[in-house]
Structure 1
Amino acid sequence: MSARLLETSWILIDAPADVVWSTLTDFASHRTWDSYVVTWEGEAKVGSRMKLVAMADRRREFKPVVTEVVPARLLRYEHRVLGGVVLRAEHEMIIEPDDGAARCRFIQRERFSGLAVPFAWKAITSSAGPGFERMNRELKTEAEKRFRKP
């Protein structure tokens, strides 16, 4: 049972890492700027269970658990179906500051494993992949707007 990786392109955001982080982890505000994750509840705290509602090809609800938090650098969470035997999805959002500049790079990665992956991979890549990319662009727009706000 091998894992498969879904990864977005890096996106350059003209805002410092702490602004991108605060935008990303302001979960209640996602409904106002994020057309992919339209509901995001929970805390960026290891062990916290979150509730995410994503709009891709259809509405999908997930209740992952936060597994790692490095403020202004990394948010990692994991979603399991039947203990991870059927599906295990490890999602990470990475922020890389551009040293000496008020900007950073952002990427999302998700590793999928489990019995369902070979059968669901095409559906996963055709819905989640474009959704992650769309969210990246919208995060860029929102973080840059917050950074430039007087």
Structure 2
Amino acid sequence: MSTTITTTIDIAADPDTVWTVLTDFASYSEWNPFMSRVEGTPEVGSRLVVRLTPAGGRGMTFKPTVLVATPGRELRWLGKLGLGGLFDGEHFFVLERGADGGTRMTHGEKFSGILVSLMRGATKDADDGFDAFNRALKHRAEKVVAR
């Protein structure tokens, strides 16, 4: 069983600027309402430590592995509950340059595993968290451009 959450937002900043903000993990606590902490480096094969803090929900920390890290284009990681196959999440950020020079960011997660049907509430919290993340990233990236 699987389910995918997909959100999009248009950002008035080029993909390289958005990438810089997206991968400046050390600054997440300053602006990010959903992922209060990310440690590690955006390099394929590396492990991250991600702390999620959904509004009104319980926070959780997990240690995903980076699957794709293409500057200015895509960041993707895979987190697993337990050994995998129970409740896995492949999180993604895809950046596309718009005709106006800005960025359309597609942000989402594909949840898979035998516990997905039992975790519907968690996926709703994730959807709300992704939207909050998107708005905050947009604000921060556009603020960088305005300097």
Tell me the TM-score normalized by structure 2.
0.94
1:2-22 deviation per Cα after TM superposition (whole angstroms, max 9, x unaligned): 2111111x2110001000000
Matched, 1:63 2:57: no
Show the 5 A alignment for 1:1-150.
2-8=1-7, 10-56=8-54, 57-99=57-99, 101-121=100-120, 123-149=121-147
- Using the TM superposition, give the Cα deviation of residue 126 of structure 1 relative to its aligned residue in structure 2, in angstroms: 2.2
Counterparts of 1:40 and 1:60, CA distance in 2: 12
| 17-26 vs 86-95, which moves further | 86-95
Counterparts of 2:129 and 2:108, CA distance in 1: 12
Structure 1 ranges of 4+ moved more than 3 A? none
Tell me the TM-score normalized by structure 1.
0.93
Aligned residue-pair number: 145
Q: CA RMSD in A?
A: 1.0
SS state at 1:95 partner: strand
Counterparts of 1:126 and 1:4, CA distance in 2: 11
1:31-59 deviation per Cα after TM superposition (whole angstroms, max 9, x unaligned): 00111111011111001100111111121
Structure 1, unpaired ranges of 5+: none
Residue identity in the other structure for 1:88: D
